[in-house]
Each structure stands twice: as structure tokens, then as C-alpha cells.
Structure 1
Amino acid sequence: MLKTKKSEAELLELYRLRKNDQKKLRTKKTTTKKRAPEKASDLLNQFFKDEPEALRKMQESRAIQSWARYVGKEAAKVSKAIRISEGELLVYVSDPLWLHQLMLLKNQILNCYKRDFYHLKLRQLYFKRVDAV
């Protein structure tokens, strides 16, 4: 009989500990569910915060990849942003008519880039005629 009471006490203690663990687990689940996932760009910025050169290169890469968004699908088929260096964006264009059209829109395109990528301090947009992009 004595052994049974001890066993009951142990079982009650184990049950109480199990309930506490379940409660902690539930609390942990609800806090993790409420938190939204972080953006990859924010994580990269945090990771490279002490490396301004790496951050600048990532921003340049984003700006180059955004070319089609600024000029549209048709113009992007015959043109390609190549690089940004010292505040200048170089774009290759394979069609002379599109080259002329893009030159006419140069200031508008540059202003869009300046608005969205102000930290790159873009000053100039250069177009170069090539055979294929």
C-alpha cells in the first residue's frame, strides 16, 4: 500500500510536469505563429551591415535586374542593363530604333532609378549599340 501511494505521488508529479511542458509548447507555437517571416533582403542587409561594399553590390544587382520593370517587356527584349559603376548605368541595345527610343526616354528612366535606388547616386545612363543582347 505504501508503495502504491508513493507511485501515485510520482505519477501525479510526472503528470504535472507533462502538463507544464505541453503548456510551454503551446505558448511557443502561438508566439512563432504570430511572427511573420522576415524578408530575405532584410536578412541580407542585417548580415552585411558592417560591409558597405557588399551592400552596394547587392543594390547594384537589384537595380540591374529591375531594368525590364522600368522600360517594359518589349524594350527589355532588345536591351539589357549591364553594370553600374561610379554612378553610371551601362545598357546594351541591339536594335537601333529602340536605341533611339530609349535615348529619348533616358531622363524618365534615370529619374525612376534615382527614385527607387537613391543610395546608388546614379548620375548618367549610357546606351551602347551591340549586335545581340
Structure 2
Amino acid sequence: MSARRISVLSAAVAAIALPLLSAPAATAAPVSHAALVAAAPKGCYVTASSAMLRSKASTSSTAVGITYRGNRCSEKGYDYHGGYGWTKVTMTTGNATGKTGWIRDDLLHTMAEDIPTCIPEDESCHS
């Protein structure tokens, strides 16, 4: 898993955990880091002015569509190829709605990027 993806997952965990941590200690149930990550939203959207939707996680693979800034997607998988992180997506809005393919991570924002990183010193992350 790339460092960027881990940072994103950590930010999402914080967003979910904050309301849990603000509850009175007597009523707060322990929640594992894995449970918080699993509960995080799985959506994404294009941040670049345009991005090619590709058949494989490679800039040399066939383009199956083009997406534009703000088009939304759902995440299906991840890969690292050719010096780039890639996310397999199904487009949910825009001109490529319904198409599935790969988009470079630097052209997308994923909800996983909003989950904070679990650090070794934080015992609550490892329960």
C-alpha cells in the first residue's frame, strides 16, 4: 500500500473516530482501526481538468473513456505500475458514467485520503 493511500486512510479514520472519541468514556465502545477503515466511504472524484480512463493500470494501455474534473466514481481496486499509483474505478457521473477502468491516483481524490494514518505509538489503532 502506498504512503499516500495510508495517509488518506488515516484521515478518514480521524473523521469517523472524532465523534466516537468525544462521547463520554463510560458509554464509548472501543472501535478498532480496521473497523474504522472498513466503515469509511468508498467514493472518489476526478481532480484533474481531464483524466483518461484506461483498460489497465498503465499509461500505455488502451483508453476506454475520458473523465473530467468533478466527475464522481466508486473505487474497485488499487495497483502500482510504471511509477504511479492507480485506482480501478467505475464512473458514476459524467460522460463516462457506467464505464470501469483505471485512473492514475494523482488525478483523483478518494475518500480514503480523508482517513488519518495509524501510528505505532497510538495503542488505540492496534486493538
TM-score under structure 2 length normalisation: 0.23
Q: Greater helix percent: which structure?
A: 1
* More strand per residue: 2
Q: Bigger radius of gyration, 1 or 2?
A: 1
- Higher relative contact order at CA 8 Å, sep ≥6: structure 1 or structure 2? 2
Compute the TM-score of the two structures, normalised by the length of structure 1.
0.22
